[in-house]
Structure 1
């Protein structure tokens, strides 16, 4: 006999729709989430919709990495100049970096496992969500979106894909990050000189310390946008099934095993 809730307010919710976006709990691969935290602390938590913790870890990573000059040391290591890598790194802050880095990986993995358990325990009993939210400054509604379109807009400028799926907080933070990283890395200037054939000037204008943030940041926005579109579409299908069963399926309807419904 399924468990029934005496108080309707106690019915668990696995998704929440607001004017700032849609947050939901769904099954995730803990190793994938932990991998993104290893790539850049905070990314794993952002995938879990834990924005306060995720934004805090991302800002901490930027701050402590700049203080240590870790990216510059990595660049010198890549080209085989080990002595230059040792000289550029600041050991005063190095030991502040390691504990937070390991914590971000461990905590994102642990949280993913816990959230998967919550989803599996409450999947059948979860209540429906409000599919339309109208406020004076914004409107949000649950619908299906195209993953390819989301990927396309994220490829142009990071944050546009998140705006397409109505994730306001993520889009704003991503846009600010994009401007900061592009400005301090001088990526646009280097790309301009590369297009007109001035390779030497293109390499000279680049700031390696800031440039090394861009690859992980860019590909994370692509993955985050695509994953959220797919899960948003699954949520739409789930809510649509609940709506049809509630208002259009009669109590006498029973689907027997072995009968194929075309």
Structure 2
């Protein structure tokens, strides 16, 4: 824990992390707290996807326009996507298995934690937070839920990335035109090449912020339990396993 962010490890299901690797490059590493790899892979996801027109190919395929999908997809860029995609899935699964082992060892060690950090830049401390609030903030704008749980790097990157993609996809003009009933106009201004990124970003932000909040609360309870045992409980009291 430092004033900029609180990073931690806990038991995770490897196949869930694998699914996130498959849904969007870099999300597995973001969930696991490996921000640098996550940021790089998320950037590569958008860069390669846009240049290969992969999202358009997905859109046309799901709507039955297979010939159009073949025409718009750039095979050179698409094949470049394959090895990075495989690496992301393999790396995310392997890192989850390794971190689970360290998490088990950390629980058994039961080492002390410093629940408060302060500097000239920021203040960070463990406290109880509401999981539903993290979900609501992430739904309002992806990244706000991470800010609520004091994961500033993930919050900044996710919020910036969402804003950029929303701008490129003309999300806000679409919302405005839809609100006034101009559905044809909303369809005209929408750019599906960019907008198709948004469902993954929203679902990831809601899921990750919720899980982070739950685990932060568990970490807070562990720290409080240890503090009370060390400072207030009789040394002769039998602690239940």
TM-score range, shorter chain: over 0.9
Partner of 1:11: none
CA distance, structure 2, for counterparts of residue 67 and residue 155 of structure 1 = 28
Kindly state the Cα deviation for residue 93 of structure 1 after the two structures are TM-superposed.
1.6
1:99 equivalent in alignment to 2:83 = yes
Say which of 175, 186, 200 aligns to 1:202: 186
Partner of 1:3: none
CA deviation map 1:117-143 (0-9, x unaligned):
111123121422211111012101011
1:159 equivalent in alignment to 2:134 = no
Partner of 2:167: 183
Partner of 2:100: 116
CA distance, structure 2, for counterparts of residue 126 and residue 21 of structure 1 = 22
Q: CA RMSD for the aligned pairs?
A: 1.3
CA distance, structure 1, for counterparts of residue 238 and residue 155 of structure 2 = 45
**209-218 or 88-97: bigger deviation:** 88-97
Q: Which structure has the bigger radius of gyration?
A: 1
Say which of 217, 228, 231 aligns to 1:244: 228
CA deviation map 1:159-206 (0-9, x unaligned):
111111111111110111111111000011111111111111110100
SS at match of 1:145: coil
SS at match of 2:174: helix
CA deviation map 1:188-240 (0-9, x unaligned):
11111111111111101000100100001111100010000000000001111
SS at match of 2:109: coil
SS at match of 1:133: strand
Higher helix share: 2
Partner of 1:219: 203
User: Structure 2, unaligned stretches of length 5 or more?
Assistant: none
Partner of 1:28: 12
SS at match of 2:108: coil
Q: Give me the TM-score of the superposition, normalised by structure 1.
A: 0.89
**225-234 or 78-87: bigger deviation:** 78-87
SS at match of 2:22: helix
Aligned residues: 241
CA distance, structure 2, for counterparts of residue 35 and residue 92 of structure 1 = 25
Partner of 2:126: 142
